Each structure stands twice: as C-alpha cells, then as structure tokens.
Amino acid sequence: MFYFAIDILGTIAFAISGVLVAMDKKLDLFGVFIIAFVTAVGGGTLRDMLIGNTPVAWMQNTTYVFVIIGTVAFTIVFRNYLKYFTKSLFLFDTIGIGLYTLVGIEKGLSIGLNPLVCIALGTMTASFGGVIRDILCNEIPVVFRKEIYATACILGGSSYFLLKELPINNTYAYIAAIIIVIVIRILAVVFKIALPNIYKDKT
Amino acid sequence: MFYFAIDILGTIAFAISGVLVAMDKKLDLFGVFIIAFVTAVGGGTLRDMLIGNTPVAWMQNTTYVFVIIGTVAFTIVFRNYLKYFTKSLFLFDTIGIGLYTLVGIEKGLSIGLNPLVCIALGTMTASFGGVIRDILCNEIPVVFRKEIYATACILGGSSYFLLKELPINNTYAYIAAIIIVIVIRILAVVFKIALPNIYKDKT
Amino acid sequence: MFYFAIDILGTIAFAISGVLVAMDKKLDLFGVFIIAFVTAVGGGTLRDMLIGNTPVAWMQNTTYVFVIIGTVAFTIVFRNYLKYFTKSLFLFDTIGIGLYTLVGIEKGLSIGLNPLVCIALGTMTASFGGVIRDILCNEIPVVFRKEIYATACILGGSSYFLLKELPINNTYAYIAAIIIVIVIRILAVVFKIALPNIYKDKT
C-alpha cells in the first residue's frame, strides 16, 4: 500500500514532466498524452521488453493508464499554477526514481541476473522514460547532458547490494537504498554537484 | 483474401509515405528502404515486442518484405507521377489504418488483455510505423502534432467494443469498426477537423 | 577463442565510435557511457528483442559491460591520440561488422527463420547500434545517408547462403562470408564506392 502510493506519486510526477515538455513543443492533445504516457511508463516498458517480461507491466495493470489520463487533463487545465509546486514535483519525481530503481533491481534479481545488470535495469526503469520522452520530442536526452540523475540511481542501486550483505532484514536494505537514491539526488541539486567534467583539456 | 488485399494496399501506402519522407531527407538507397520498411511494419513490430509475440510478424511472413522492396523500387522510379495519385494513396493509407487498428485489437484480445489496452495496441499498430519513421528522420512525429489520425483509431477501436455487445455477428462488428475508423479519418480531413486546441490561453 | 577476440575488438571499436560521437555532442560522463554502450550492443539487443531471445545477450555475459567501461575510460583519457589510430579503428570496426553479420544470421537460422529474414537480422546486428547512437544524439543515422556499410553486410550475408550450398565445411562458409563483408567494406572505402544515386533527375 505504501509502495503503491509512492508509485502513483512518481507516475504523476513523471507524467507532468512529459506534459510540460510536450506542450513546450506545441504538440496536440494526442501527442501530449503519448509523451506523458511514455515518460511515466517508458523506462519500465523498455526493461520488461529487454528481460522478456511480456505483456509489459502497464498492460497488466490499467491503474497507471487512468492515473496518466487524469494527470494529463489536470496538468493541461492547471499548468499555469504548476510553478507554485515545482518543489513538490521535484520531490515526487525524486521519490519516484528511488522507488523505480529498486523495483527494476528486484525484477532483475527475480530472474537471476547479475548485480551489475540489475543496477542497469534499475537505472533504466527510473531514467529511460525521460530518455524516450526527449527522443520523441527531438531533443538530446537531458539525462545525458546535465545533473546527477541516473548517477543517483547507480549509486543507490549499488548500495542495495552492499546493504543486503549486512545482517539486516531485506526490507530495510530495500528502503535504505531508496532513501540513498533520494538523498544523493537532493544533495546533488541543492549543492549543484555535477559529474566530473570530461572536456577540461578542450577549452 | 479480402483482408489480405487490404493489408497489402495498406502496406504499399505506408511504404510509399516512408519513401517520400526519406527522399525528402536525401537518404541513400539503403536508408530509403529502411524508412519505408519501418513505416510499413514498425507499428505491428512494436506491438509484437510489447506483448511478447516473437519472432515479430514480418519475420514469419516474408510477403511484406517483397511487397515493400517492390514498392520502394516503384516509388523511386515513378515518384514524379505520384502527385496524380495523392487521393488514392490517402485512401489506401486510411483503409490501412482501419484494418491495422482492428488487427491490433484482436491480437490483444487473443491474449486476454483489457479493452483499454487492446485499443492502445490497435492505435499503435496503425500509427507507430509513422512515429518511428519520423524519429529516424529526425522530426517530431507528425501524428503528435496535427490532424485526426490516431484519434480515428481510438474512436473506431472503442466502437468495436460497443458493437460487440450488440446481438450481431462478430465479423460485422469488426468490419463496421474498420469502416468507422475510415469514415472519421475522411471526415476529419474533408472538414479539416482537428483535436481541441489546448494552447488557447497562451496566445 | 578466435571469434571471442574478434568480438571484443569489434566491441571496442564500436564503443570508441560511440564515445567520439557523444563527446562531439558535449554529453556528460553518463551520457557518453550510455552512447558507447548502445553503439556496441544496441544492434544485438534489438535483434534479441525482435526474435524473443530474452534476457538479451549482454545481460547474460557481463564481459561486454566491463570491456565497454574500460574502453570509455581509455577513450576519454587518450582521445587526443586516437587520430593516430584511425586506420586500426576502421579495421576493428570492419572486422566487427563482418563477425556480427554472421552472428546475427546464425541466431536467425537457429530458430528456423527464412534466409531473407536472417540476412536482415545479421545486418541489424552489425549496423543498428550506430543507428540508435545517432538517434540518441539527435542526428539522422549516418548509415542511412552515405557509404557502403549495411550494404556490405547484406551482400556478405547473402553470400553465406550461396557458400553453404557448396560441398564445403560450414565453418569455411562462415569465415568466407565474414571476409566477404570485410573486403566489400574496405573496397568501398578505398575506391569511394557509394550506392547508386537515386536523386539524379532532381538536380
């Protein structure tokens, strides 16, 4: 129930980010909905296609479809007020990527994949909805260009495998890893931490 | 046999639209062929990957591959005459999306998916070949920007589930739904009907 | 062992090409890594998704992941010296596409697909990593625009089915087909052979 609430909040935050990018590109109603949809479920869908978990997740639970339809309608109508909620949206998005990272990792573990591959699946679940959103909107994906985002997923996901080695309940390790993703992302944004610049010697 | 003829006409119309977009981008022969190919089979391929129906459809029936090769050759040679056939091409394309919508819906029903998901699959089968074409050609997909196109698939697809409730033969419901997609699309183009503008208050 | 060495050299050459395109777009470290990764494994991954061979290949053998991580680190540090090795890189890349074409064909044959479809799978394995790289970097895929590249895969792949008809050991046919891909590609580059120009009458 608790996870489900986080999941829905994350879906809403992702869908809103999709609506905003799509409206910025002046897409029509259908385009806005599709972009919101792929932003919200694209990462998990790609993960499911790569591991052969088909029909993919959103086909098996239509709750997400309705949540996204509602979010799109709400966001189009009230988008001029969204600027008062950027902090809440950032928080939902950040909690969402924390959860999705661990959901992806568990899916990988459940079919016996290597920890490294599981971390990749978790990061993909959390961040590739935004990648597909940006490709459909004809932009280079923002997650490839700036900010700590996927990196928070990678570090938090890695921490899960360390925490699992400790003599603690697996659920605690799971929740702790989610919190680590969230904290890294928040610290990175607050202190404007970016990945090391690899272009130094070119300037 | 009748369905097969529609299917081939639709494939030809889709492939021609791929050739024209690709030649507009000055792609080479290989690029033109690939764009024609993904335009024609991309929607069904994505559908099959999402539901786990692999190897995907075009790998199991190579008729499509030959039809597309022939269409590409024909279109390159005679493209200066295509302008006399825009109405026929529009008609083939429209009949094609009607059929593909229902083909996608039936695939979803055959594995027990929810009607909402089936309509999504049908719409995807009909319209995502063009989405992939536009992404490969570095354009924002035209189906996200203007015209009633996917919307015709969604409405016609929805009507199928209503028609199935009536005490009529399922084949009639199937054909009626195809015709509804076609009629909505034609009416939308003839009367220049677009989706409601969601940008009003921004102008 | 011999195939494995070729495979690793090909992976390195593909990953380097990914790093160079990504750095040209000023992506950050995560973006550069992802682009290198999809360039190296994207073709095989798409092939595996289309034929339902999941979890896809790189999830089942993490050697590639480590090779790509090492290649990315190496390329970022030493990229100013890469210009002295363009010929070696071209050679690795070319040997790589030869091998990958045949790997893809064999995967198709192993599940009983039609030769035409197998050649498509081989060509995709060899060339679609670069297609995905270019799409993620917001470029029209270079393989659709110039040079004999995919065409070498198609011709070499086709030759394999002819060679298999000869009364020779299958391994010889396999290796001969790889060499045919390599030779066509090298001849095309040395003699600047391109596909026939389909735009003549437009100039």
Over the stretch A114-170, which tens digit does the pLDDT of each residue have?
A: 999 999 999 999 999 999 999 999 999 999 987 788 999 999 999 999 999 999 988
Q: How far is C180 from chain A (nearest CA, A)?
A: 32
* Percent of chain C whose pLDDT exceeds 70: 98
Per-residue model confidence as pLDDT tens digits over C20-30:
999 999 999 99
Both tokens of residue A4? Answer: 């489900």
Judged by a CB distance cut-off of 8 A, whether residue B171 touches chain C is no
Peptide bond into C196 cis (omega under 30): no
Q: Which of C19, C30, C74 best tests the A interface by mutation, with the highest count of A CBs <10 A?
A: C30
* 3-state secondary structure string across chain B: CHHHHHHHHHHHHHHHHHHHHHHHCCCCHHHHHHHHHHHHHHHHHHHHHHHCCCCCHHHHCCHHHHHHHHHHHHHHHHHHHHHHHHHHHHHHHHHHHHHHHHHHHHHHHHCCCCHHHHHHHHHHHHHHHHHHHHHHCCCCCHHHCCCCCHHHHHHHHHHHHHHCCCCCCHHHHHHHHHHHHHHHHHHHHHCCCCCCCCCHHHC
All residues of chain B having their beta carbon less than 8 Å from the beta carbon of residue A138 are: 138-140
| Per-chain mean pLDDT for chain A | 91
Greater confidence, A202 or C33? C33
* C-alpha gyration radius of chain A: 17
Counting one residue from chain A and one from chain B, the pairs whose CB atoms sit within 8 A come to 70
Mark yes or no for CB contact A29/B198 under 8 Å: yes
Residue in B188, B179, B189 with CA at minimum distance from that of residue B159: B179
Both tokens of residue B27? Answer: 């792609």
Mark yes or no for CB contact B144/A138 under 8 Å: no
| Per-chain mean pLDDT for chain C | 91
Is the predicted pLDDT of residue A1 greater than 80, yes or no? no
Asked whether the beta carbons of C107 and C121 are under 8 A apart, the reply is yes
Asked whether the beta carbons of A152 and A70 are under 8 A apart, the reply is no
**C-alpha span between C104 and C109 (Å, rounded):** 9
Phi and psi angles of residue C50, each rounded to the nearest 5 degrees, phi first? -70, -35
For tokens 């944004």, the residue is A189
**C-alpha span between B121 and B142 (Å, rounded):** 19
Residue in C183, C161, C186, C184 with CA at minimum distance from that of residue C174: C161
For C136, name the nearest residue in chain A, comparing CA atoms only. Answer: A140
From the list B23, B55, B65, which residue is nearest C116 (CB)?
A: B65
**Structure confidence at residue A201 (pLDDT):** 57
**Structure confidence at residue A193 (pLDDT):** 84
All residues of chain C having their beta carbon less than 8 Å from the beta carbon of residue A117 are: 55, 58-59, 62, 65
Is the predicted pLDDT of residue C11 greater than 80, yes or no? yes
Judged by a CB distance cut-off of 8 A, whether residue A55 touches chain C is no
For A154, name the nearest residue in chain C, comparing CA atoms only. Answer: C30
Mark yes or no for CB contact A59/B113 under 8 Å: yes
Please give the angle made by the CA atoms of C161, C11 and A146, to the nearest 5 degrees. 130
Judged by a CB distance cut-off of 8 A, whether residue B186 touches chain C is no
Neighbours of A131 (CB within 10 A): 24
Terminal alpha carbon distance of chain C: 51
Asked whether the beta carbons of B41 and B101 are under 8 A apart, the reply is no
Asked whether the beta carbons of B163 and B199 are under 8 A apart, the reply is no
Helix axes B63-78, C115-136, angle to 10 degrees: 60
Q: How far is C72 from chain B (nearest CA, A)?
A: 26
Judged by a CB distance cut-off of 8 A, whether residue C49 touches chain A is yes
Asked whether the beta carbons of B157 and B105 are under 8 A apart, the reply is yes
- Greatest extent of chain B over all pairs of C-alpha atoms, in Å: 53
Mark yes or no for CB contact C29/A138 under 8 Å: no
Asked whether the beta carbons of A26 and B18 are under 8 A apart, the reply is no
> Please, what's the b/e burial string for A133-148 (b: 16 or more CB within 10 A of its CB; e: otherwise)?
bbbbbeebbbbbeebb
Interface of A with B in 69-98 (CB under 8 A): 76, 80
Q: How far is B182 from chain C (nearest CA, A)?
A: 30
Both tokens of residue B21? Answer: 């977009």
Residue in B100, B202, B110 with CA at minimum distance from that of residue B149: B100
Residue in C148, C154, C176, C52 with CA at minimum distance from that of residue C105: C154
Q: How far is B88 from chain C (nearest CA, A)?
A: 24
Asked whether the beta carbons of A49 and A105 are under 8 A apart, the reply is no
Helix (H, G, I), strand (E, B) or coil at C170: helix
**C-alpha span between C181 and C77 (Å, rounded):** 32
Mark yes or no for CB contact B31/C143 under 8 Å: yes
**Structure confidence at residue B155 (pLDDT):** 96
**C-alpha span between C165 and A107 (Å, rounded):** 45
Residue in C30, C129, C182, C197 with CA at minimum distance from that of residue A130: C30
Mark yes or no for CB contact C111/B80 under 8 Å: no
ipTM of the complex, rounded to two decimals: 0.89
Q: How far is B40 from chain C (nearest CA, A)?
A: 16
**Structure confidence at residue C5 (pLDDT):** 83
Is the predicted pLDDT of residue B203 greater than 50, yes or no? no
Per-residue model confidence as pLDDT tens digits over C73-99:
999 999 888 878 888 888 888 999 999
The pLDDT confidence band at residue B104, using thresholds 50, 70 and 90, is: very high
Is the predicted pLDDT of residue B16 greater than 60, yes or no? yes
Mark yes or no for CB contact B31/C144 under 8 Å: yes
Instruction: Render A37-93 in DSSP notation, one character per residue.
Output: HHHHHHHHHHHHHHHT--S-HHHH-THHHHHHHHHHHHHHHHGGGGGGGHHHHHHHH
**Structure confidence at residue B195 (pLDDT):** 82
